[in-house]
Structure 1
Amino acid sequence: MQLIGNGGERFDGVREIAVLRGGGLGDLMFAVPAIEALAAAYPEARVTLLGVPLARSVLDGRTDAVHAFEELPLVPGVRESGEGAPSLADFDARTHGRFDLAVQLHGGGRNSNPFLLRLGALHTVGTATEDAEVLERWVRYVYYQHEVLRGLEVVSLAGAAPVTLDPRVRVSDEERLAVRERLGVTDRLVAIHPGATDPRRRWSPERFAAVALARLRAGDDVVLVGDATDVPAAGAIRAALPDELADRLHDRTGELPLSDLPAVLAAADVLVGNDSGPRHLALAVGTPTVGVFWFGNVVNAGPVDRGRHRVHLSYVTRCPVCGIDVTQVGWTAERCEHDPSYVDEVEPAAVLADVADLLATARR
């Protein structure tokens, strides 16, 4: 058994494990390999994910590593917003004293470690910034580390060795086929996600439109995916395409339930997107991806292999508007008010070359 980092011995008598991981879709995907490692190291234990509703929507029935879900209350630094969230008192009543091991995979611990300690678990592991309260076993939080490896380093403190470096989300062949039939796809399907939570990570819609146009002209179908925030970008992509190709462009932005997104992404032959949650989910369901990244984000979020996943890097080191250094990111970094794209220096031709290569060479 090879542990990551300092590691630690397994705890005895663990039957109930809590894993804290809120945040967005990408954050959830980064935690899945660590959760799988815990499930393998403690096969007799039940693993409960403490997260936001999207976690259940995406993972319920699609992984054997998570056995139960608990929705997080609204707590600064743990969960900032959400309709219908339980009260902190109700959450405490359901969870306090219930777990033998509590695992913090949620940021640097400034807010998440005190929250985790409220559980009253027998054992705790996690990360800690220099100003964070520490847990029973902990590792220093340093911003520039791949998020998957960070999670695996944390669970190694509890004696859990990696079983995979990629998140895995299960989609059946029947689901893939049903999506393609609903869309009327008879050959290749290219998925495009034009959004990202941080506007600085977004490739411009006209660049995505160039990719869509080239693949439509090559005879592929194209499906646009994303939530309501991605609807304007999808509209700009549609407006840039000729009407005669519209029947093979399927816009599902803003209308696709999150629980259906894994199947749609799994039905695609390749996904093109920014450093975003749907790109990470596409990887998890086994779909090859071509990602457009700011170079610093590749350290924390880039795919491991290049046989199925390609990255295109933008080497912007200063804000294009005010010139402030943008390489010192993380908890305490100075942040200007500007949100220009940091990745628009990536050219569509380079992305299209990798799309064509993956369509010819990648094995699902």
Structure 2
Amino acid sequence: MKAWIEKGGYLNARGRKWLSQLRVEQVRRILVIRQCAFGDMMATRPFLVELRRFFPQAHITLSTVSKYQYAVPDDLVDEVHVLDGEGALRSQWRSLHSHSDVDVLFDLADTARSRLLTLCTPARVKLGFPYRRIFNRLLFDVGILRSDFHYEAEVLLDFLKIMGHKPQYPLEFDMPRHRRVLAKPRIVYFPYAAVAEKSLSQQSWSRLIGQAAIEFPDYQHVLLEGSKREESGDFLHDVVAQHDNVVVQDRMGLESLAHWMASSSVLVSGDTGVRNLALATHTPTLGIFFMTVPFRYWPRYENCHDAVFHRDGQVPGTTDILQGLQELLIRVYPERAAPRQLAPGEA
């Protein structure tokens, strides 16, 4: 098999030899290391779907850590390994050396623990995308350049493209799928983020949702509560009281949330795990960015996703977001009436 790589990564002699002799039916055991939170777990799903397509006979193990158990895609792998990083030293040592006779190892994490597991696991070939290139020579046979300017889920697929694999587009997440003709007139807002500074203030969200309720009267406007206690919708109490088309949706389990999100018209949020879930269900999204590089979380293979950000990094205002929402709704649902009703005299 040809190694489909030129100058876009690292390839040593062992990696080139392995690729030249690769027979997919001979690959029996694959270890995928992915130690990440909710959103990045969602972005991992297309890689696992395509990995199964490319190596249909292989036993696939996904290795993570105890901190990141929510949304682990256990439905797409044969086994989940949780790396013990907090137990007794003997237990941690066993956990690091629990894998043997691995044909292919993918390190999709690039953390200290993932590198240690990569080092301790014997494998015929090891692939990764370390931020520091020195780890290519120390740990990997094939190294991929990790881009901040392409959607994370697509970057992961580069590991399989080196082998000549043709991924499906739009990407397949094996999740409930949004159908535009069946979408309810519901705009969802998720105003939280793992790092508070990545999201608008509660005052900004209240102002945005209150104004959107006026300008988009034919839609129900729903603030989705998060799983943490502090991710409550109580701050929106006054807006809910003023507008019949504004409600707060209680937190939901992952499976229920996926189906509910897929039946919504659009999600408005910052860089959050919930936005990644919306991307995984192909639900239209309007992302709000001012700290995170937007391109890494903005799929361009579908026309139903957009991003609001300023080139100078300023925080987008209510007017910017409402304009982006109007343009997205018109583009995605052209059969619906003009969605926005501006106040008299407003441009």
How do 1:35-74 and structure 2 match up within 5 A? Answer: 35-52=48-65, 57=71, 59-61=73-75, 65-74=76-85
How do 1:261-276 and structure 2 match up within 5 A? Answer: 261-276=257-272
CA RMSD across the alignment: 3.6
Query: For residues 77-125 of structure 1, what are the alpha-carbon distances to aligned partners after superposition, in whole Å with 9 as ceiling and x for unaligned?
Result: xxxxxx9xx95245346x3205221101113x65522322323223211
- The CA distance in 1 between the partners of 2:64 and 2:124, in whole Å, is 20
Structure 1 residues not aligned, in runs of 5+: 76-82, 181-186, 318-341
Query: For residues 267-323 of structure 1, what are the alpha-carbon distances to aligned partners after superposition, in whole Å with 9 as ceiling and x for unaligned?
Result: 212111112211111011121111112376123222214521111113345xxxxxx
- The CA distance in 2 between the partners of 1:359 and 1:164, in whole Å, is 18
Query: For residues 26-52 of structure 1, what are the alpha-carbon distances to aligned partners after superposition, in whole Å with 9 as ceiling and x for unaligned?
Result: 212232232233222211112222225
Tell me the equivalent position of 2:106.
103
Tell me the equivalent position of 1:21.
34
Residue 100 of structure 1 aligns with an amino acid whose one-letter code is D
Residue 357 of structure 1 aligns with an amino acid whose one-letter code is I
Worse-superposed segment, 219-228 or 18-27 = 219-228
- The CA distance in 2 between the partners of 1:242 and 1:289, in whole Å, is 23
The Cα shift of 1:59 comes to 3.1
The Cα shift of 1:172 comes to 7.2
Structure 2 residues not aligned, in runs of 5+: 337-347
Which of 276, 299, 324 lines up with 1:280 in the alignment?
276
1:353 paired with 2:326, answer yes
- The CA distance in 2 between the partners of 1:98 and 1:260, in whole Å, is 39
Tell me the equivalent position of 1:150.
155
Is contact 1:208-1:348 (8 Å) kept? no
Is contact 1:33-1:165 (8 Å) kept? no
Secondary structure, counterpart of 2:32 in structure 1: strand
The Cα shift of 1:194 comes to 0.9
Tell me the equivalent position of 1:138.
143
Residue 195 of structure 2 aligns with an amino acid whose one-letter code is D
The Cα shift of 1:352 comes to 3.3
- The CA distance in 2 between the partners of 1:269 and 1:117, in whole Å, is 46
Which of 74, 82, 92 lines up with 1:88 in the alignment?
92
How high is the TM-score relative to the length of structure 2?
Answer: 0.74
How do 1:234-249 and structure 2 match up within 5 A? Answer: 234-236=233-235, 238-243=236-241, 245=243, 248-249=246-247
- The CA distance in 1 between the partners of 2:37 and 2:246, in whole Å, is 30
How many residues in Structure 1 have an aligned counterpart in Structure 2?
A: 310
The Cα shift of 1:193 comes to 1.1
Identity percentage of aligned residues: 20
Task: Tell which structure's C-alpha radius of gyration is larger.
Answer: 2
Pair 230,52 (structure 1): closer, same or farther in 2 beyond 3 Å = farther
- The CA distance in 1 between the partners of 2:328 and 2:271, in whole Å, is 16
